[in-house]
Structure formats: C-alpha cells, structure tokens
Chains A and B, each alone.
Chain A
Amino acid sequence: MRQLIVSTILFFLVSLSACGNLSSEPKLSIEDAWARAPAMEGGNGAVYFRVLNEGGEADRLLSVSSPVATAEMHQTVAKENGTMSMEPLDAVEVPARDEIEFKQGGMHIMLIGVADPMSIGDTIPFTLRFEHTGNLQITVEVRQ
C-alpha cells in the first residue's frame, strides 16, 4: 500500500515537471553577448550573442536598439569563390527549446556610425525586441 502511495506521488510529480517543460510560452535568455569596438571614431561595430529559448513556443527577434548607435540586424553570407556579402534581416526566429547564435561570419548586429569611442572592457546597453517576450534589456561587453 505504502509503495502504491509513493509511486502515485512520484507519477504526479513527474507529470507536473513535464507540464512545466511543455509551457506554451517562450522562455528566453541571452548569453555570451559582446561587441567589437569600431576601429575609428564614427566607424561601424558589431554585436554578437546567443539567444536561448527554454520555453515551448517559438519567438521572433524583431529589432535591436542601443543609445550608442543605430543598430541593425544583418547576416554575412558566403558566396562562390570565397566572396562574402551582407544582407539585412527583417526578423529572426528563435525556435522552441533551441538556440540561435549571432556570431562572426554569420548573423550579427551592425552598429552604424558609433560616435563616442569605445574602450575594451566598456559595457553598452542594448534592447532586443521580441514578438512575444517584448523587450529584453542587456549589457554588452566591448572586446577587440
């Protein structure tokens, strides 16, 4: 009898935890965010990071902004014979229980015309606007 009670409690506990994972909302976090400082005053920079979604529903990154410069989502695209190009991105999907990465040679945030000089180790504020989650405020460390 006692064994049956313990088994029943365990069953419901496991079921409850499974329900938690099946949450129908995106659950986002931003990891490894860093910015490359522009090589000159008024130059362009880039920001890289990972977006993790532990929730059960996808979300979409719609736009990015920062007080330090105009920020746009772009993607570096490899073409034939080692030629590289760059294309603007309208929105980026973050699938459920998955992650996406903005990285060198791939998707990146382009900072256009950074007026104030950035030093290695500085942090800059950033806002990521998602379709379901809304705004996520992050700070990004400047590296070389």
Chain B
Amino acid sequence: MFWKMRWLFWFGLALLSISCQPYTFKGTEYPEGISAEEFTLATTEGRSFRLSDQRGKVVLMFFGFTSCPDVCPTTMAEAKRILEGLGEDTQNVRFVFITVDPERDTPERLGEYVSNFHPEIVGLTGTSEELQTMFDAYGIYAAKVPLENSAAEYTMEHSARVFLVDQDGRLRLSYAFGTPDEEILQDVQYLLQ
C-alpha cells in the first residue's frame, strides 16, 4: 500500500512539473515591452490600414513582391496553412503582405496575388517614401537588383522574415525564412489563449 502511494506521489509530481513548464516560443523573441512602430499603409481596396487599429489581434507581417517565384510564394503558402490551422481564431489574426516592389505591384495585382493564397491575407502598399519609412522603422532591407539576360528584368533583394506583433501592439517575435508553419501556428495559438 505504501509503495503504491509513493509511486502515485512521484507520478503526480512528474505530471505537475511537465504541465507547469513555461511555454517556449519557436520564433526569435524581442525583449518584452518593445512597442511596434506605428505605420499606416493602403490596402489593395484603397482603404487605410493602421497598425494601432489592429489592437486585440495578432499581426503577422511579411515583406515581398508578387513577381518573386520562390521565397514569397513559399512563405505565402505557409501563411495559408497557418490561417487554415487557426480555424475560428483566424478572425483574431491579421496576416499582411507588404510589397517591396511598388513599381510593379499595382493594388490590383497585389490584391489578386494575396487572395489567391487566402482571402484573409491583406496586401499593403504605399508610395515609395511611405514604404521606405516603414522599412526603416522595422529594419527591413529592400533593393532592386537587375537580372542581366533574364526575361524577369530585375528582382528585389529583401528581408524574408515574418514579424509578429501581439494583441497589445508589441513586436514580440520574428521567424527566419523556412520556419515550419506549424511552429508559427503554435506561437500564435499560445498568444491567443
């Protein structure tokens, strides 16, 4: 009887220690308390998108361009899987795709591009100056690189991380290109608890 009780005690203690372990974020963490820089850009429907208006939602941000054949569609396919994985919680998340190539990415083109992946993904654009101000605030690098002897004419070299702003408007996490979508989904689901 005593041995049984002792076994039960240790088993319970082990369970307790597992369940009390703090959650470890999969993304690269920023120190808590960093307020995400405010920005206002235009949606593909011409509406104004202000970051502070998204309070209460988790905002995931990716910077790319619609002519990009590899990195951007790979990340957008991940965005689709993240939003699908969220189920009803999709309404508490905004995934935004911010163009680094406003020269080619007209609002129409950008809108068609993002909606092909998921109807809830928001395409954002602005003037070159508005976009550059936003890039500077978030440390985003974007530069036009000519491609000689290519029908593509030029490509955009750009930061390919996904940034996460939490419900309180704090820049909390970022993810390197190629981070499995399940890991980003887990972090988002944890923040939404």
Pick the residue among B74, B114, B147 that contacts A88 (CB under 8 A): B147
Q: Smallest CB–CB gap between A70 and chain B, Å?
A: 5
A84: CB under 8 A from chain B? yes
Residue ID in chain A nearest B175 by CB atoms: A82
List, in ascending order, chain B residues with CB within 8 A of A70's CB.
Answer: 151
Q: Smallest CB–CB gap between A93 and chain B, Å?
A: 20
- Interface pair A40/B66, CB less than 8 Å apart: yes
- Interface pair B161/A40, CB less than 8 Å apart: no
Q: Is the interface of A mostly helix, strand, loop or mixed?
A: strand
Residue ID in chain A nearest B74 by CB atoms: A104
In the complex, how many residues of chain B place their beta carbon closer than 8 angstroms to a beta carbon of chain A?
A: 36
B178: CB under 8 A from chain A? yes
Q: Smallest CB–CB gap between B82 and chain A, Å?
A: 14
In the complex, how many residues of chain A place their beta carbon closer than 8 angstroms to a beta carbon of chain B?
A: 29
Tell me the B residues contacting A by CB distance below 8 Å: 66-71, 73-74, 76-77, 80, 109, 112-114, 116-117, 139, 141, 145, 147-152, 155, 157-161, 174, 176-178
**Given A105-B71, A144-B77, 14 new contacts (CB under 8 A):** A39-B66, A39-B73, A40-B109, A40-B113, A44-B152, A46-B73, A70-B151, A72-B151, A82-B159, A82-B161, A82-B174, A86-B145, A86-B155, A88-B147
